[in-house]
Amino acid sequence: MKPRPSSLAFVALGLAAAGFAATFLDAAWLRDHGARQLAERGALAARLGLTDLALFTEARYTRHPSQADLHSAFQDHPVALEHFPTGSLLPPPASLVSHHERLDRKTASPD
């Protein structure tokens, strides 16, 4: 007997839902599996006092964005154009898009 279209649809949707649930299980498995490596990365950062990810190594203000001068985007000379692709993909200075609290002002440090 030919199965009803609704039965086929439920089987297909059930399989897709099982696949969806499997992504969460797989993520949990991969997380367990990668926990040691993640801990190793964290331990190295703690041991060497690392402050940044080695994602963009082309210039000092992209290699260590958290340690860069506060206005490093046009640092070479006034109205200097940005050289590096990463620079153009970094967010603009916080003063232009002020989403966060101004901690530097709170600590009364010179800019």
Binding residues vs another protein (CB under 8 A) = 4-6, 9, 12-13, 16-17, 19-20, 22-24, 26-27, 30-31, 34-38, 40-60, 62-67, 69, 71, 85-86, 89-91, 99-100, 103-104, 106-111
Nearer to another protein, 58 or 80 (CB): 58
Q: Name the token pair of 76.
A: 């070479």
Gap between the Cα atoms of 48 and 40, Å rounded: 12
Smallest separation, CB 73 to another protein (Å): 13
Gap between the Cα atoms of 2 and 53, Å rounded: 58
Smallest separation, CB 108 to another protein (Å): 5
Smallest separation, CB 81 to another protein (Å): 19
**Positive or negative: CA dihedral 59, 60, 66, 68:** negative
Gap between the Cα atoms of 62 and 53, Å rounded: 10
Gap between the Cα atoms of 21 and 6, Å rounded: 22
Smallest separation, CB 79 to another protein (Å): 17
